């Protein structure tokens, strides 16, 4: 088709301006792809960090506890019995079970006091579910039977504590009387999830149970599964509990952290906002380009009308040109985006640039975010970009084609 | 039935608060096959009149009939189609498309109208270019052509679709007398063979030599209208 050919040939006019528009679109695409990669990477890492250092893949507890879990209550605790253990044992794909007793406490170093979350764990079982032990930076995790504590480096720094120092945890028992846990610090951890480093004190489960006077009660069981098996295992467990008339329920990690949801919402919102900006930039670039071209080619457009071209045929010529710019800009953007994302996936992005660890922003990532590959985003953005380029050319092109031919030809 | 009829056509341009009358009541009938020149001093309204006849501009007053149809009754689409199929324009400024070669600039016009085979179309374009003396320059772009050569491309573009009516605004103004004669020859031939109607505005006595009708325009009015056999 001749108009098509003409549109393409017009692309070679005003090379510098077209190149600039292409560059602007490419840069906008590049920024989007980078942000998309980073945000997806952040989400993925956050989820990993939540799973691996906070919740496990699945948490089993009573619905009543679940509802109040943020308040760390000592009510509705689990007292393990044979039925429960069987249900868990009979579920396929479970790699570990860690009973936890979570409680409110005040950490005292002899001078200052700070509110923390106490975490009674059975160390061997805990290590089967969580990877925290790999991040002990000083000392070690406490050994089974040892009555010691492990805290995060940030908390240690805040409270001026070192390995082998003694700390006191002030707690309220189930009966609302005060009690203390006096332990020596066995190790300091610096886990990838900064939430762990900032406010948790790990102590042996039996020590916690005794101090809180809850017998053999635990808040919940954290379970590890192969990644991706959470949902089937969660359902199997819940069914199994129901069959045995137990009130216990299994919750996939996805349901457990409010931050998970907040993160996803933030991600979607963030990506959406950037996408709108990127498309707006592309749109303005194209509109600007078409208007300038149309102004330059006024006489030519008038001549086309004199030759008997219909307005939409003239619009079509501009649309081909604009779409061409969109395609070139999109391709260039995807290309440099590919390079940028490769870098992000490989080398990551230091959170130091935005001022310290992610916990300040509610992101459970310590110091370096990595991008992930989101290939559909490339295709999606490219197609969307081309469509936007095409659509945004219509109005200015129509404006140009609609001009009075006499005025156009004689430039009056 | 006349090809073209103008009835008390007036055109008044509004320049701010001042009214500039460009045409002040033109009555004119042109038959199919006439070879007409319009001459007159600069500013007498030649271009304005040609634009009016070519359905590019609308009169302030009066009526134009083309092919026995009132131009003012035609829709935008019908106007475009009239220009596409029935009228060939040659402008004072050539208005070629700079990214297209001479060949493509001419091809452009025929693509809009001709739906015959590719080879026939190609043949027509090449023949037309040869006739205006541009053989061998087909693949040059406008910026690689002289003013006269550009003018000839513009003429070829207007003639290639073999329209009923050709309107040309000083078509030979940029041509040397020899080339001008050649171009007018082609037009004359088309006029004879295809009974194509030509309306020129010109100062060129050479062009006038070929014409069989002379219209003198003065201050937006026809002051003389002579036919010659
Ligand atoms: N858009 C316009 N606005 C105001 N006045 C105009 C406009 N177009 C033409 N005119 C005036 O109308 C008159 C006729 O103009 P036109 O261009 O038809 O003259 P012309 O005979 O073609 O002259 P030339 O031989 O110089 O080309 C002139 O006085 C001109 O100044
Ligand atoms: Mg003129």
Å between A409 CA and nearest CA of chain B: 8
From CA B70, how far away is CA B58, in angstroms rounded? 11
Contact A307 B82 (CB under 8 A): no
User: Rounded to a whole number, what is the distance in Å from the CA of A385 to chain B's nearest CA?
Assistant: 27
C-alpha–C-alpha distance, residues A170 and A179, integer Å = 6
Closest CA to A274 of A32, A40, A43, A34: A32
* Contact check, Cβ <8 Å, B95/A409: yes
Atom number of ligand 1 nearest to Cα B50: 18
CA B78, CA B84: separation in Å to the nearest integer?
10
Q: Are A201 and A167 in contact (CB under 8 A)?
A: yes
pLDDT one digit per residue (tens) for chain B, 229 residues: 788 999 999 999 988 899 999 999 999 999 999 999 999 999 999 999 999 999 998 999 999 999 889 998 999 899 999 999 999 999 878 889 999 999 999 999 998 887 778 889 999 999 999 988 899 999 999 999 988 899 899 999 999 999 999 999 988 887 888 888 888 888 888 899 999 999 999 888 877 888 889 999 999 999 999 988 6
Q: Residue B225 class from Cβ within 10 Å (0-12 exposed, 13-18 middle, 19+ buried)?
A: middle
**Cβ distance of A308 and B82 shorter than 8 Å:** yes
Predicted local distance difference test score (pLDDT) of residue A253: 84
Give the separation between CA A46 and CA A361, rounded to whole angstroms.
12
Q: What is the pLDDT of residue A392?
A: 92
List beta partners, residue A185. A149
Q: What is the pLDDT of residue A354?
A: 58
Distance CA A375, CA A228 (A): 20
Q: What is the pLDDT along chain A (412 residues), one digit of tens a residue?
A: 788 888 888 888 888 999 999 999 999 999 999 988 988 888 888 888 888 888 888 999 999 999 998 899 999 999 988 888 888 888 888 899 999 999 999 998 888 899 999 999 999 999 999 988 888 999 999 999 889 999 999 999 999 999 999 999 999 998 889 999 999 999 999 888 888 888 899 999 999 999 999 999 999 999 998 877 888 888 888 888 888 888 888 998 887 766 667 777 877 888 888 889 989 999 999 999 999 998 888 888 999 999 999 999 999 999 999 999 999 999 999 999 999 999 999 988 776 665 556 665 566 676 778 888 999 999 999 999 999 999 999 999 999 999 888 888 876 5
DSSP assigned state of A78:
B
Tell the residue nearest (CA) to atom 7 of ligand 1.
B13
Inter-residue contact A107 to A202 (CB < 8 Å)? no
3-state secondary structure of A97: strand
Return d(Cα A149, Cα A157) in angstroms, integer. Answer: 15
Complex ipTM, two decimals? 0.90
Collect all residues of chain A within an 8 Å Cβ-Cβ radius of residue B99. 6, 9-10, 12-13
Instruction: List pocket residues of ligand 1, CB cut-off 6 Å.
Output: A 412; B 13, 15, 20, 22, 42-48
- pLDDT at residue A363, rounded to an integer: 66
Give me the residue from A6, A307, A406 closest to B83, CB to CB: A307
Supply A145's token pair: 């039977």
Q: Flag if B108 and A306 touch (Cβ within 8 Å).
A: no
Q: How high is the pLDDT of residue B171? A: 87
Q: Which residue of A has its CA nearest to B87?
A: A307
């Amino acid at each position: 088709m001749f108009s098509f050919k003409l549109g393409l040939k017009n692309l070679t006019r005003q090379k510098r301006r077209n190149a600039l528009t292409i560059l602007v679109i490419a840069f906008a695409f590049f920024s989007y792809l980078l942000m998309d990669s980073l945000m997806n990477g952040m989400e993925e890492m956050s989820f990993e960090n939540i799973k691996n250092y906070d919740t496990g893949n699945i948490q089993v507890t009573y619905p009543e506890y679940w509802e109040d879990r943020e308040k760390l209550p000592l009510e509705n605790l689990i007292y393990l019995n044979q039925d429960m253990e069987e249900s868990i044992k009979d579920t396929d794909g479970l790699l570990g079970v860690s009973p936890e007793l979570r409680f409110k406490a005040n950490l005292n170093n002899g001078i200052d006091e700070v509110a923390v979350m106490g975490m009674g764990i059975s160390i061997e079982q805990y290590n089967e579910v969580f990877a925290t032990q790999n991040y002990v930076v000083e000392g070690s995790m406490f050994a089974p039977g040892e009555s010691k504590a492990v805290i995060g480096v940030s908390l240690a720094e805040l409270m001026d504590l070192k390995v082998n120092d003694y700390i006191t945890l002030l707690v309220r028992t189930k009966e609302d009387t005060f009690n203390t846990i006096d332990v020596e610090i066995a190790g300091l951890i610096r886990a990838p999830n900064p939430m762990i480093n900032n406010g948790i004190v790990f102590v042996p489960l039996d020590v916690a149970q005794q101090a809180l006077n809850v017998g053999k009660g635990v808040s919940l069981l954290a379970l590890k599964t192969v990644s991706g098996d959470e949902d089937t295992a969660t359902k199997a467990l819940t069914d199994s509990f129901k069959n045995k008339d137990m009130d216990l329920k299994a919750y996939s990690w996805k349901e457990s952290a409010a931050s998970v949801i907040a993160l996803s919402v933030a991600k979607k919102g963030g990506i959406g906002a950037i996408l709108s900006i990127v498309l707006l930039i592309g749109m303005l670039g194209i509109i600007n380009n078409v208007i300038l071209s149309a102004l330059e080619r006024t006489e030519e457009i008038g001549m086309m009308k004199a030759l008997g071209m219909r307005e939409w045929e003239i619009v079509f010529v501009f649309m081909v040109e604009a779409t061409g710019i969109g395609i070139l800009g999109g391709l260039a953007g995807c290309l440099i985006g590919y390079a940028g994302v490769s870098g992000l996936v490989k080398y990551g992005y230091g959170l130091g640039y935005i001022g310290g660890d992610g916990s300040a922003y509610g992101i459970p990532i310590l110091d370096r975010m990595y991008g992930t590959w989101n290939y559909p985003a490339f295709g999606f953005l490219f197609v969307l970009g081309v469509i936007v380029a095409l659509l945004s050319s219509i109005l200015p092109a129509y404006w140009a084609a609609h001009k009075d031919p006499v005025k156009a030809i004689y430039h009056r | 039935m006349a090809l073209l009829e103008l009835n008390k056509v007036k055109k008044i341009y509004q320049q701010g608060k001042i009214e500039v009358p460009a045409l002040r009541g033109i009555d004119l009938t042109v038959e199919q096959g006439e070879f007409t020149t319009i001459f007159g001093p600069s500013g007498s309204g030649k271009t304005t009149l040609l634009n009016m006849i070519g359905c590019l501009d609308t009169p302030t007053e009066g009526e134009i009939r083309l092919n026995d149809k009132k131009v003012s009754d035609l829709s935008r689409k019908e106007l475009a189609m009239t220009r596409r199929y029935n009228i060939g324009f040659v402008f004072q400024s050539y208005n070629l498309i700079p990214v297209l070669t001479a060949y493509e600039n001419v091809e452009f016009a025929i693509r809009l109208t001709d739906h015959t085979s590719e080879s026939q179309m190609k043949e027509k374009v090449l023949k037309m270019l040869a006739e205006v003396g541009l053989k061998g320059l087909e693949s040059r772009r406008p910026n690689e052509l002289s003013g006269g050569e550009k003018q000839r491309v513009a003429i070829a573009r207007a003639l290639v679709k073999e329209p009923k009516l050709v309107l040309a605004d000083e078509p030979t103004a940029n041509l040397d007398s020899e080339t001008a004669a050649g171009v007018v020859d082609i037009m004359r031939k088309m006029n004879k063979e295809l009974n194509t109607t030509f309306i020129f505005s010109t100062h060129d006595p050479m062009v006038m030599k070929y014409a069989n009708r002379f219209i003198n325009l003065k201050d937006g009015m026809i002051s003389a209208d002579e036919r010659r056999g």
